[in-house]
């Protein structure tokens, strides 16, 4: 009897957290309540990446160096910077093993990224219709909601 109660408690707790164990992998990665400032400030040069794709410390580094942002100047006012930084770090690092390592604070240098995309030829990334690995939405048609399921992939010519 005690066992049953505690397993009921566990499922209730998971429900509260908005997840159930078997379906976790299929859930779109973008939180449903995206911070407005994140959309306006961080989705003009590339898509707004789901926070879950990088670790807390990677987001912290990124937000601390926006004036030298992968060769671009992405600096914003201090208040907005702080607000976005806190939001990203709160939502960080839940996708598979992203917490391991992301050299240069990139999603595209993580081991899982390289593994999942190893079959894609180098020449594909440089296509005019794609413009590099960081442009997830070029191939992942539902990337904006953080849905990277295989069925929604279409590589443009
Ligand atoms: C002025 C343009 C610009 C703005 C604004 C901008 N970025 Fe970027 N970002 C870039 C460029 C350029 C790259 C490198 C893309 C590449 O290598 O193909 C990049 C790359 C990234 C990457 C790494 C992508 C990868 O390769 O895995 C992350 C993460 C990122 N940006 C986060 C942010 C966040 C967070 C913000 C908002 C605070 C932001 N960016 C705003 C230009 C910008
Ligand atoms: C050139 C097109 C292309 C670009 C750009 C691209 N991907 Fe992919 N992605 C693919 C393909 C193709 C697969 C593998 C689909 C398969 O295995 O059938 C894949 C697989 C994935 C998977 C695994 C999905 C699963 O169900 O296992 C994830 C997660 C993913 N990509 C995320 C990203 C992110 C994040 C970015 C941007 C930083 C990105 N991809 C950029 C083409 C692309």
User: What are the domain boundaries of the chain?
Assistant: 25-152
The arithmetic mean of pLDDT across residues 48-56, rounded, is 95
- What would the two tokens of residue 151 be? 């069925």
Residues with Cβ within 6 A of ligand 2? 53, 107-108, 116-117, 120, 124, 130, 133-136, 138-140, 148-150, 153, 155
Question: 9-33, pLDDT tens digit by residue?
Answer: 544 444 444 444 444 456 899 998 9
The ligand 2 atom nearest the CA atom of 130? 5
Dihedral in degrees, nearest 10, Cα atoms 30, 31, 34, 40:
-10
* Positive or negative torsion for Cα 33, 101, 69, 45: negative
- Minimal-distance CA residue to ligand 2 atom 35: 136
pLDDT of residue 26: 64
pLDDT band of 8, cuts 50, 70, 90: very low
Tell me the pLDDT of the chain averaged across its residues: 86
Q: Higher model confidence: residue 3 or residue 43?
A: 43
From the list 76, 96, 95, the residue with the least C-alpha distance to 35 is 76
From the list 97, 60, 67, the residue with the least C-alpha distance to 82 is 60
Question: 122-146, pLDDT tens digit by residue?
Answer: 999 999 999 999 999 999 999 999 9
pLDDT band of 120, cuts 50, 70, 90: very high
Indicate the pTM of the whole model. Answer: 0.88
Does the pLDDT at position 47 exceed 60? Answer: yes
């Amino acid at each position: 009897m005690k066992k049953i109660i505690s397993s009921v408690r566990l499922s209730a707790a998971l429900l509260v957290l908005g997840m159930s164990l078997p379906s976790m992998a299929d859930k779109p990665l973008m939180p449903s309540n995206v911070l407005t400032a994140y959309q306006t400030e961080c989705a003009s040069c590339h898509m707004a990446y789901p926070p879950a794709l990088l670790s807390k410390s990677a987001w912290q580094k990124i937000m601390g160096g926006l004036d030298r942002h992968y060769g671009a100047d992405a600096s914003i006012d201090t208040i907005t910077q702080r607000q976005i930084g806190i939001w990203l770090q709160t939502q960080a690092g839940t996708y598979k093993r992203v917490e391991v390592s992301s050299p240069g604070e990139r999603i595209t240098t993580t081991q899982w990224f390289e593994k999942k995309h190893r079959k894609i030829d180098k020449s594909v990334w440089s296509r005019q219709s794609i413009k590099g690995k960081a442009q997830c939405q070029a191939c992942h048609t539902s990337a904006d909601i953080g849905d990277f399921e295989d069925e929604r992939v279409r590589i443009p010519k």
